[in-house]
Amino acid sequence: MASFNGGGAAADTGGAAVTTALNGTGDRLLSSPNARRVAAAADVDLTAVRGTGPTGRIVSEDVEEFLAALPEDPVSPVPAGGTPSSPLVRKLAKERGIDLSDVNGTGPGGRIRRSDLDAAAPPPLRRNGAPRPGDVLPLTGMRGTIARRMHASLQEMAQLTHGYEVRMDAVVSLRDRLKEEWADSELPVPSLNDFLLKAAALALREHPLLNAAVRADGIHLLDGIHLGFAVAVPGGLMVPVIEDAVALPLPEIARRSRSLAQAAREGRISPAQLEGATFTVTSLGGYGVDFFTPVINPGNVAILGWAGSGTESSGWTTGPCGRACSP
């Protein structure tokens, strides 16, 4: 069973102005949604930040490095007896319940960086320390981020879910054949999710309204098709991004999805590899789920979710593109 959720996002306050701003060379300033949110929280002018992402795109890590390199905080001075830190760090510390006086700053002059907060945060619950009735699980770290983003998605978007059942016999048969044909080659055999990523990319090329972002000045149809795909990791969920997916052959999508998923599970993935998705594909088929309603990733206007084993039929929850999203 596959599910596709489409909706209209609320205005991305300040986002439109940033994405259409010009840098010093007169070119359009490229920045990720996360970078814009971090910059807005810390009152940072993105034209002063050097981007290290693809094609010079500014990612959240660039904004954090910019803040860490500031000699002082001209907007929000350090309170008397306080600790040198940026507005963003103080905001995150408040959200996580961390006393900055207990944190050792590793930045210039003892300035506290975001990484210092991460090091000071309580360790995640161990698998052998299962939660018990009466426990309070703090909404911090990844769990807190997921909770806030999902709540914001449902609160700020008018979401509508469509469900379809799709026969996957031909895809399963093709995959079995590729296993035999590519057995002695270095080509990776695509998973069912890889087939769906490629199908989604081709469908988005035909339905550009689903590869878009809603901002204050209107609906922005995005140039590239960059697919995010959900990966379960200990304590939460990550969404690595395959850039320009529509231009990639199926084996390359399979290779990148495996590499990114492994990096996410091993904690080696970089912030840049988690930013810039224009559409997301997610699956619960491996958990015995027949149907579910995926929550749109903030910054996107739709999401495709699928479930089922693929041996007989798979369920799709889809939006206006409906059957055009299926392979």
CA–CA separation, 120 and 127 (whole Å): 20
Q: What is the mean pLDDT of each run of 10 residues along the chain (327 residues)?
A: 58 35 54 80 79 82 77 46 70 75 80 77 52 76 77 82 87 93 92 94 96 89 95 87 96 96 90 92 82 86 82 44 33
Residues whose CB is less than 8 angstroms from the CB of residue 55 and which lie 6 or more positions away in sequence, other chains included: 30
Among 48, 327, 324, 297, residue whose Cα is nearest residue 162: 324
What integer pLDDT is reported at residue 292 of this predicted model?
A: 86
**Which residue in this structure is represented by tokens 């507005």?**
87
Q: What is the DSSP letter of 103?
A: S
CA–CA separation, 158 and 194 (whole Å): 29
Residue ranges, comma separated, of all CATH 3.30.559.10 domains in the chain are: 2-7+161-325
Would the pTM of this model clear 0.95, i.e. be above it? no
Residue ranges, comma separated, of all CATH 4.10.320.10 domains in the chain are: 14-120
Are 87 and 66 spatial neighbours (Cβ–Cβ below 8 Å)? Answer: no
What integer pLDDT is reported at residue 121 of this predicted model?
A: 63
For the domain bounded by 2-7+161-325, which CATH number is listed? 3.30.559.10
Among 220, 295, 277, 234, residue whose Cα is nearest residue 15: 220
Q: Which CATH architecture has domain 14-120?
A: Irregular (4.10)
String of DSSP letters for 158-220: EEEEEEEEEE-HHHHHHHHHHHHHTTTSSPPPPPHHHHHHHHHHHHHHH-GGGSEEEETTEEE
**Token representation of residue 167:** 């026969």
CA–CA separation, 138 and 115 (whole Å): 19
Are 327 and 171 spatial neighbours (Cβ–Cβ below 8 Å)? Answer: yes
CA–CA separation, 121 and 243 (whole Å): 32
Q: Given CA atoms 245, 248, 249, 254 in this order, what sign does their dihedral have?
A: negative
* Amino acid at site 241: V
Please report which residue ranges of the chain form alpha helices under DSSP H: 15-19, 33-42, 60-69, 87-96, 114-120, 141-156, 169-181, 192-206, 250-265
**Token representation of residue 14:** 């300040």
